[in-house]
Amino acid sequence: MKFFADTSDLDAIKDLADLGMLDGVTTNPSIIAKSGKEFLPLIKEICGICEGPVSAEVASTDFDTMMKEGKKLASLADNIAVKVPLTEAGLKVCKNLTDAGKMVNVTLCFSPLQAVLAAKAGATFISPFVGRLDDIGNEGMDLIHEIAAIYDNYPDFHTEILVASIRHPQHILQSAKLGADVITAPPEAIKKMYNHPLTDKGLAAFVEDWKKTGQSIL
């Protein structure tokens, strides 16, 4: 499973890269707005830190403008994945960009049928939003199960399942068990994965016992 950081925080991205836990980065208009930084220079800087795909989202909704924006974004760096919404116009942009050899991340997926459309359009990634489904009383991980089952039926589909809108480490665990290709999560959610009270308790005991020996490795 690949880990993408859902953030535009450069320090957090560098930190995950140093840990060996960074396979890509995803951004969206909301994340960029919170950063308070200029969009295009920020994306270019992220691409310089992250060797894997960096998702940068178009800001328009009509086909012609999205195509222009998509081409502009794709020109920023070789590892850009142009992010488009799962609409008719978005899928048309996806088809055109993938035919031109560009990576495309189709976002805001909430049904398995939408995921089929994205795969047919040649999407590099499909981004189902599990947390937002949970928020309205549905079981978001059921969507991942359905998409994975459908994609497995068709070897000609090469679209990777990129689980998005992750709220907590359990979403990551469930995604791994279902065979999702990628998860994108806030850096803090990824870092929570190594936390366990028994690890802390065991380490504290080891440290205390070592002190009693009066020895030093250095």
> What is the rounded distance in angstroms from the CA atom of residue 181 to the CA atom of residue 125?
9
> What is the rounded distance in angstroms from the CA atom of residue 7 to the CA atom of residue 182?
15
Residue with tokens 């080891």: 206
Amino acid identity of 10?
L
From the candidates 83, 95, 177, 201, give the one annotated as an active-site residue: 83
- Computed on alpha carbons and rounded to an integer, the radius of gyration of the chain in Å comes to 20
> What is the rounded distance in angstroms from the CA atom of residue 84 to the CA atom of residue 35?
20
> Is 83 one of the annotated active-site residues of the chain?
yes
2-6 vs 80-85, strand pairing mode: unpaired
Catalytic residues: 83
